[in-house]
Structure 1
Amino acid sequence: MYKYTFSYAKNKDQKCMEIETAVVVWTMLLGDRFPIVHEFVTFLQEKKPAKVINRDQWQSFLDFVSTDLSNYDESSACKSMMTKRENNDILI
């Protein structure tokens, strides 16, 4: 379901999803399963590192996040979108 949500949630005439929309959808779909989503959403809302999320970033998000970030791989393709620092800040 997550894979197909991007196409339905973004505006028809745009290739990217507004960050505000992504935040709502991530919270609804993943917030209960992955508690780190709430921290990531807070980061996006406070730091505003991006205005939109593209399809590749959307698809990579599930690979990036797990309940404890145990699957975090600094060398993954997702690194350009999200980077975990030593103090556990996540950068986009």
Structure 2
Amino acid sequence: MLAWKMNAQKQGYFTQDEWQRGLKALTVDTVNKLKNALSELENEVRMPQNFADFYSFAFQYCLTEDKQKWIDVECICELLDIVMGSQFPSQVALFTKYLKIQNDYKVINMDQWTSFLRFCSQLSFPYLKNYDTTEAWPLILDDFVEWMREEKLATAES
């Protein structure tokens, strides 16, 4: 979240400009004020208008090589848990379970990443009554829904 606020360009590294810009945006000038600002930053990130931006940033931030356009499934599972595990715990838990047992997808691209946020935000879960297979979902999400239905994880509401 701090990297998002600082608009950091490189994972694990802040330039002096990024650091200063971030501290100014947080209106902090001491370590104690920074510690206190982190809980407020968490609340800021959770606001719907900021979360989508943070979510996209998290993917971009994990791209460690020039021209890299994907992240391996193992890292995606960890990133999903960190970024949205507290907001969509059931969806993240089941999707990461699916990603770990399936054999068709080794990496996730930005389109698949952003579509998963839309999937979590727009669909009734776990019943998926409003999942429309004619809609333009990435194939990985169609496969995930099919897996859920085969596993009887997406069942009709009682």
By the TM > 0.5 criterion, same fold? yes
Identity of aligned residues (%): 31
| Cα displacement (A) at 1:25 | 0.6
Match of 2:102 in 1: 47
Helix, strand or coil: the match of 1:17?
strand
- Name stretches of at least 5 consecutive residues in structure 2 with no aligned partner: 1-53
Higher strand share: 1
Count of matched residue pairs: 90
Higher helix share: 2
> In the TM superposition, what whole-angstrom CA distance separates every residue of 1:37-66 from its partner, at most 9, and x where no partner exists?
101101111123311111111111111124
| Cα displacement (A) at 1:27 | 0.8
- Name stretches of at least 5 consecutive residues in structure 1 with no aligned partner: none
Name the Cα RMSD after superposition: 2.3
**Which of 33, 57, 65 is matched with 2:112 structurally?**
57
Q: Is the 8 A contact 1:19 1:53 kept in 2?
A: yes
Moved over 4 A (4+): none
| Cα displacement (A) at 1:79 | 4.2
Q: Is the 8 A contact 1:10 1:18 kept in 2?
A: no
Partner amino acid for 1:3?
Answer: S
Over 3 Å counting, the alpha-carbon distance change for 1:3 and 1:28 in structure 2 is: same
Give 1:23-34 correspondences, 5 Å limit: 23-34=77-88
Structure number with larger C-alpha Rg: 2
Partner amino acid for 2:85?
Answer: G
Helix, strand or coil: the match of 1:65?
helix
Give 1:1-92 correspondences, 5 Å limit: 1-13=54-66, 14-34=68-88, 35-66=90-121, 68-69=125-126, 70=128, 72-83=131-142, 84-85=145-146, 86-87=149-150, 88=152
Query: Could you say which structure has the greater relative contact order, defined with CA pairs below 8 angstroms and 6 or more residues apart?
Result: 1
Question: How many Å separate the matches in 2 of 1:27 and 1:48?
Answer: 20
> In the TM superposition, what whole-angstrom CA distance separates every residue of 1:6-48 from its partner, at most 9, and x where no partner exists?
1111222321111111111101111121122101101111123
